[in-house]
Chain A
């Protein structure tokens, strides 16, 4: 059974810092890995999707990497802003493309 772990569980940083969120998974036989953002009381917003054959994806200030062999993915956020404050979820897509979610990293960026 796939297990997904996200570290740290919570993070508080001053505005402008570059930061890295980590996601690890136990079964490397994955189809894809997706990073989401969730604001309090809201649904999920997809940030980046990495196919199993890819190593990284970039969108604006966000960069996600994938290392299947070591069972790791990182989400890099450059020049963080208060508007980046949210919970970031990592989801690993397995059989039938059903994703397994980590518990998320709660990020606070203070001015």
Chain B
């Protein structure tokens, strides 16, 4: 099956620093990737839709200047949490859909990144 990777898997940073998380589709092309946030014992909350070559589409309530998304190629999207604060601590997961329509538009998810802001 299709594989999506995320890096890093875990990051601990000081308040005020910026953190970049990478999401890669390893064996397929994805013009669209999705970024989710998951709080403990809660479901996944869609943050934004990352579009290759254009601006990301953010969900209501998500600060686009706080969560910078760049989708520079058909296999890579990055999420940068700028000036991170403890309330940004969470589990961030990306997903991708095969742009060529293979795999019946199934969503493939990365393993997630655990961000802890001290």
Q: Which residues of A contact B93 (CB under 8 A)?
A: 43-44
Contact call B42/A34, Cβ cutoff below 8 A: no
Contact call B104/A46, Cβ cutoff below 8 A: no
Give the docked Cα–Cα distance between A45 and B112 (Å): 11
Give, as a whole number of angstroms, the nearest-CB distance from B75 to chain A. Answer: 18
Q: Which residues of B contact A64 (CB under 8 A)?
A: none
Residue from B104, B106, B110 in contact with A43 in the complex, judged by beta carbons closer than 8 Å: B110
Give the docked Cα–Cα distance between A24 and B107 (Å): 19
Contact stretch, chosen from B14-22, B43-51, B66-74, B77-85: B43-51
Residues of A in contact, count (CB < 8 Å): 23
Classify chain B: how many residues form its interface, as a range: 20 to 34
Q: Mark A53-94, 1 if CB is under 8 A from B, else 0.
A: 000000000000000000000000000000000000101010
Residues 13 to 68 of chain A near chain B (Cβ within 8 Å): 31-32, 34, 36, 41-46, 49, 51
Q: Which residues of B contact A46 (CB under 8 A)?
A: 1, 106-109
Give, as a whole number of angstroms, the nearest-CB distance from A104 to chain B. Answer: 6
Give the docked Cα–Cα distance between A96 and B44 (Å): 17
Q: Taking CB as reference atom, which chain A residue is nearest B4?
A: A43
Residue from B42, B49, B104 in contact with A98 in the complex, judged by beta carbons closer than 8 Å: B49
Q: Given A43-B6, A98-B49, are A93 and B110 neighbors across the interface (CB < 8 Å)?
A: no
Contact call A104/B107, Cβ cutoff below 8 A: no
Contact call A93/B43, Cβ cutoff below 8 A: no
Residue from A42, A51, A99, A103 in contact with B107 in the complex, judged by beta carbons closer than 8 Å: A99
Give the A-binding residues of B (Cβ under 8 A): 1, 6, 32, 34, 42-44, 46, 49, 91, 93, 95, 97, 104-112, 114
Give the B-binding residues of A (Cβ under 8 A): 31-32, 34, 36, 41-46, 49, 51, 89, 91, 93, 96-99, 101-104
Q: List 29 A-B contacts (CB under 8 A).
A: A32-B104, A32-B105, A34-B106, A36-B109, A42-B111, A42-B112, A43-B6, A43-B93, A43-B109, A43-B112, A44-B93, A45-B109, A46-B1, A46-B106, A46-B107, A46-B109, A49-B104, A49-B106, A51-B104, A89-B44, A91-B107, A93-B105, A97-B97, A98-B34, A98-B49, A101-B44, A102-B43, A103-B43, A104-B43
